[in-house]
Structure 1
Amino acid sequence: MTTVGFLLLPGVHLLDLAGPAQVFSTAADLGLGYAVRYSAAREEVVTAQGLALRVSTDALAPSPDGLVLVPGWRAGGRVPYRVLAEGQAAALAAHRAAGGTVASVCSGAFALGEAGLLDGRRCTTHHGLQDLLARRFPRARVVPDVLYVPDGGVVTSAGIASGIDLALHLVTVRHGPAAAAAVAREMVVYARRNGDEPQAGVMLRHRGHLVDAVHRVQDAIDARFRETLPLAELAARARVSERTLTRLFTAATGLTPLRYQQGLRLEHAEHLIGAGETAEAAARAVGFRDARMLRRLRARPA
């Protein structure tokens, strides 16, 4: 039985906690042998979303097979130099020294840094806190714009929902990709994302503009990215000429409509490959005739 202990700090984000907790709880339901525990400095922890949680104040015991995970809390770009209560930093360090795994979601990385666990290690956090983490812990090697980073028994992840990806990664390490895929299916999660994927996917990275016509075309491509979408059809949806659509789309997103669609296909194919599909099967599933175009896109500089 593997114990997964969540160390909760005041103002913890619900999804930072609930996402990984659901992964390990579901894994336990599937017979993978997990026991989930919760600990805090006080019996009541009020979350960032206002929900009060009642938890144990017993310290999480060091274990060579266990995992201690620190979810993030509402930081707003301002993280105190001391976020841990008395004894918590030593407990985290002792758990790692005993051979156990220590992990964090979002601003939880600052707790690991306070415990000295980021020194000399690669790590990450929410994109809005990466620069602060690097300044606060100069011996840490902060990796920007990735979902999660494992390094020597210490695993850090980006913000909020990336904790699910981190937890599925840890299940994969212990039990293999098939077990993680079973957990993901039970949770109705599309697929386990790879750690080096950017924190914002293709849809989010290219949606920061204010051009309604381009948003309408993006909606169509997002919904039907596997299909062949003639430029004339997309221009009709935007109610502009093909030439005008290409100009507007490129100015708003930095990509042509075709490159945007290819980016979506590539992103979805990478998800499938990460879940165990072959490149050929993934390519066909996202709309390519075969894997040749997929290989070219994977090799193309970002």
Structure 2
Amino acid sequence: MSRIVFFLVPGIHLLDLAGPAQVFSTAAGLGYPYALSHISEQPQVPSAQGLPLVAGVDWPALTAEDLILVPGWRTGTGTGTGTGTPADGSTSAHADGNTGAPAAQPPIGAAALQVLRDHHAAGGTVASVCAGADALGRAGLLDGRRCTTHHDFQDELARRHPGAVVVRDVLFTVDDRVITSAGIASGIDLALHLVAVRHGPAVAARVARDMVVHTRRNGHEPQSSAMLRHRSHLDDTVHRTQNLIDARFAEPLPLTALAAAVGVSERTLTRLFTRATGLTPLRYQQTLRLERAQHLVGNGATLDAAARSVGFEDARMLRRLRARTG
């Protein structure tokens, strides 16, 4: 039996906890030997989303087969992904919102940090989601090791822990039984990876299917997809065009047809699209195809199979696009 111990701190993000917990709970329901524990330094832990959590305060006996996972947090009394407002009226900082502000450091006692150190020294695995990497850094476990966190917190993590090797814009890293992941939903990817390592990719795929996870992503994949990276503009015509391309990027999509579908001329669509995204509609479609093909290759597909799956006639164009972006 492997024990998965979640160490909860005040301001914890619910999805940072719930995503990995659901993965291991689903695996346990399928007959794999996992038991989940939730430990904190206080019996009731306020979450960033307003739901209080109940946790134990006494650490269970741990073996090298067990995992300690530290979910991320946000301070303040606000809910959602915005900045919380503490009682004194000041603006709190967090690692997951849209301000780029650093996550505040919640108090973590010396005893808990020592548990993290001792567990790793005894051969156990420690992991984090989002700002939870800061706890591993405070325990001295990031020194000289590759790590990552939410893209809004990467600079701050590197500043606080200069001995850490912060890898930017990846989903998760694994370095000598220290595993760190980016924000929020990437904790699911981290947990599925651990299930795959222990029980094989077929078991991880079965867990993902039960959780209705669309695809299991590898650690090196970017934190945000091309579909999200080019959506920060306010042009409705371009958003409608992107909706069409997103849904059918593997098909031929002539500019004439796209322009007619959104009710503008080809010239106007190209001008609006380029101004909003920095790409032409064709280049945007190629970006989506390339990203999907890279994912397929990363999961074992050949270049030819991946190229045909995303709409290329053969692998030549895929090779050119990979060389251009590599």
When normalised by structure 1's length, the TM-score is 0.94
Q: Alignment identity in percent?
A: 65
Task: Decide whether the 8 Å contact of 1:147 with 1:158 is kept in 2.
Answer: yes
**For structure 1, which segment, 81-90 or 206-215, has the greater mean C-alpha deviation from structure 2 after superposition?**
81-90
- What corresponds to 2:208 in structure 1? 184
Task: Decide whether the 8 Å contact of 2:45 with 2:54 is kept in 1.
Answer: yes
Q: Are 1:85 and 2:109 matched, yes or no?
A: yes
**For structure 1, which segment, 49-58 or 157-166, has the greater mean C-alpha deviation from structure 2 after superposition?**
49-58
Q: Are 1:206 and 2:230 matched, yes or no?
A: yes
> Using a 3 Å threshold, how does the CA distance of structure 1 residues 80 and 248 change in structure 2: closer, same or farther?
closer
Question: Match for 2:210: what amino acid?
Answer: E
> Using a 3 Å threshold, how does the CA distance of structure 1 residues 10 and 279 change in structure 2: closer, same or farther?
same
CA offsets, 1:222-276, max 9 Å, x none? 1111211111011112322212222221221111111211221222233334444
Task: Decide whether the 8 Å contact of 2:116 with 2:136 is kept in 1.
Answer: yes
Task: Decide whether the 8 Å contact of 1:107 with 1:125 is kept in 2.
Answer: yes
- What corresponds to 1:287 in structure 2? 311
Quote the Cα distance in structure 2 between the aligned partners of 1:215 and 1:15: 28
Question: Match for 2:277: what amino acid?
Answer: T
Quote the Cα distance in structure 1 between the aligned partners of 2:60 and 2:300: 35
Q: Are 1:232 and 2:256 matched, yes or no?
A: yes
> Using a 3 Å threshold, how does the CA distance of structure 1 residues 301 and 272 change in structure 2: closer, same or farther?
closer
Quote the Cα distance in structure 1 between the aligned partners of 2:233 and 2:28: 43
- The one of 155, 161, 164 equivalent to 1:137 is 161
CA offsets, 1:269-293, max 9 Å, x none? 3333444444433333322333333
Task: Decide whether the 8 Å contact of 1:177 with 1:276 is kept in 2.
Answer: no
Q: Are 1:51 and 2:51 matched, yes or no?
A: yes
Matches within 5 A, 1:48-127: 48-75=48-75, 76=94, 77-80=101-104, 83-127=107-151
- The alignment partner of 1:107 has SS state of helix
CA offsets, 1:54-104, max 9 Å, x none? 121111434211111000011523445563124100000011001111000
- The alignment partner of 2:25 has SS state of helix
- What corresponds to 2:5 in structure 1? 5
- What corresponds to 1:297 in structure 2? 321
Structure 2: state its 5+ residue gaps: 76-93, 95-100
Question: Match for 2:26: what amino acid?
Answer: T
Question: Match for 2:46: what amino acid?
Answer: V
Question: Match for 2:260: what amino acid?
Answer: A
Task: Decide whether the 8 Å contact of 1:9 with 1:45 is kept in 2.
Answer: yes
> Using a 3 Å threshold, how does the CA distance of structure 1 residues 26 and 294 change in structure 2: closer, same or farther?
farther
Quote the Cα distance in structure 1 between the aligned partners of 2:323 and 2:196: 26
> Using a 3 Å threshold, how does the CA distance of structure 1 residues 183 and 296 change in structure 2: closer, same or farther?
farther
Quote the Cα distance in structure 2 between the aligned partners of 1:78 and 1:300: 34
Task: Decide whether the 8 Å contact of 1:61 with 1:95 is kept in 2.
Answer: no
Count of residues in correspondence between the two structures: 302
- What corresponds to 1:22 in structure 2? 22
Quote the Cα distance in structure 1 between the aligned partners of 2:298 and 2:205: 10
| Cα root mean square deviation, aligned | 1.7
CA offsets, 1:177-207, max 9 Å, x none? 2221111111111111121222111011101
**For structure 1, which segment, 72-81 or 15-24, has the greater mean C-alpha deviation from structure 2 after superposition?**
72-81
- The alignment partner of 1:295 has SS state of helix
**For structure 1, which segment, 202-211 or 29-38, has the greater mean C-alpha deviation from structure 2 after superposition?**
29-38
When normalised by structure 2's length, the TM-score is 0.87
- What corresponds to 1:128 in structure 2? 152
Structure 1: state its 5+ residue gaps: none
Task: Decide whether the 8 Å contact of 1:168 with 1:184 is kept in 2.
Answer: yes
- What corresponds to 1:255 in structure 2? 279
Task: Decide whether the 8 Å contact of 1:120 with 1:141 is kept in 2.
Answer: yes
CA offsets, 1:103-148, max 9 Å, x none? 0000100100010000111111111111111111111111111111
Quote the Cα distance in structure 1 between the aligned partners of 2:28 and 2:186: 20
